[in-house]
Amino acid sequence: MWLTMVTPLFNAIWVLQAMEPSKTNRKKVEVIWKTTFKRFLMISMRTPSTLVHQMIGRNQEEIVTSTNDTTTIKWMKRKNYEEFTYPLIKVDLLELHEKETKKPLLGVSNAFCKLLKTQFRYCPKCKGKKITNPWHMKYFHNMEIKHFMKIWNEDIKPIVNSGKDRKKLLKQTHEICIEHLGKYNKFISII
């Protein structure tokens, strides 16, 4: 949903970004891009960029060059008073789509976002001083929970990359996330 509703709003910025030599402005756009993704999914702002990039599944530099090439072609057509045909855009988008990896969030349920939120909450026992990540839970409360990156890489990603039907993928990933959420909630209730 984010890819269809929010990402197109960045097209004008990406065209300017192709011409902008400043690395600072590129970093700012990347931060805004990741922030909108995090807000759209309602996950913590502390979620690491590596996971966010894996969840988005798009290479920003390729999008910048593709958008810039398409707009350059459009501008040259306008400048020469020629008619612009849309198949040129569709070809560019298809080529870009072929280069991309599979859609990483295709079969991931909302329970994964809830699971992410759990590992960035403040610990109820420590009264807002620590976050309930696996390290804190293990060394402060002697409770083992699986790190969200391990859950993503070992449990969810292989299922999503298997290429099954979306409903089957949703069911499988939902069960995995609910299992981990159940363990987390059990530990929190013990604290």
Q: What is the pLDDT of residue 8?
A: 83
pLDDT at position 88 over 70: no
What pLDDT digit, counting tens, does each position of 12-28 carry?
Answer: 888 787 777 788 888 89
For 46, counting Cβ atoms within 10 Å of its Cβ (0-12 exposed, 13-18 middle, 19+ buried), the class is exposed
Confidence of residue 95 (pLDDT cuts 50, 70, 90): low
What is the residue extent of each domain of the chain? Answer: 2-99, 111-190
What pLDDT digit, counting tens, does each position of 118-152 carry?
Answer: 888 888 888 778 888 899 989 999 989 999 999 99
